[in-house]
A and B are shown apart, each in its own frame.
Chain A
């Protein structure tokens, strides 16, 4: 158990819909990261937040957005969903932002878009 929690575990929805994925970091961690893992793309970094502020952006689509709240939990919002958005979405957390800090991953949310 990494100490990072993600809800829900599974999510099934239809094209065009909007969903919100939730992540609670390990106690004491200030950074939260979101990743997408689909069968044909591997693990792709989406976005990082540190203490409530966006710190780094990866391959995140404009239809996707995220935020980190004062209690440090984070939400990833996916809108206008397409079939290709079906994937595992992982959240990770770390103490800080530098390259010295390892990331701890949650169990993931499996999103299926029908």
Chain B
């Protein structure tokens, strides 16, 4: 599975959009981009995934560049409850390799 690179930490003001970047320059054509988050020591929570096209659901939007070498997860209106570690993963099967992720802190 391809390796991903994410910033270690980011801050965001409450009510503003949080944009979390992820680089996956060695991604293969059949690998999906997944985003999960983990709040404190709870089980990771699925957010969104995509292959080539941008995706949106009730939680977030996923923007994937045309060359698929990077992506951005957008939380449109961050709340304090969005404070968590966000993991970007690329995989073509269910053998998911979680990296260190980005620790997002939403501040009042």
| Chain A residues within CB distance 8 Å of chain B | 2, 4, 31, 33, 35, 42-45, 48, 55-56, 58, 88, 90, 92, 94, 97-108, 110
Contacts and interface: CB of A to CB of B under 8 A. Distances in A.
Interface in B4-41: 30-32, 34, 38, 41
A107 B43 contact: yes
Interface of B: 30-32, 34, 38, 41-46, 49, 87, 91-100
B31 A99 contact: yes
B30 A99 contact: yes
B98 A99 contact: no
A93 B96 CA distance: 12
B48 to A, nearest CB: 9
Contact of A58 (B32, B41, B49, B95): B95
> DSSP majority for the A interface?
strand
Given A43-B98, A97-B94, A102 B46 contact: yes
B96 A45 contact: yes
A41 to B, nearest CB: 10
Nearest to B101: A42
A88 B95 contact: no
Contacts of B34: 102
21 contacts: A2-B45, A4-B43, A31-B94, A33-B96, A42-B99, A43-B44, A43-B87, A43-B98, A45-B97, A55-B94, A56-B94, A56-B95, A90-B43, A92-B44, A94-B94, A105-B43, A105-B44, A107-B43, A108-B41, A108-B42, A108-B43
A-B CB proximity, top 8 nearest: A105-B43, A43-B98, A102-B46, A99-B92, A56-B95, A99-B32, A105-B44, A90-B43
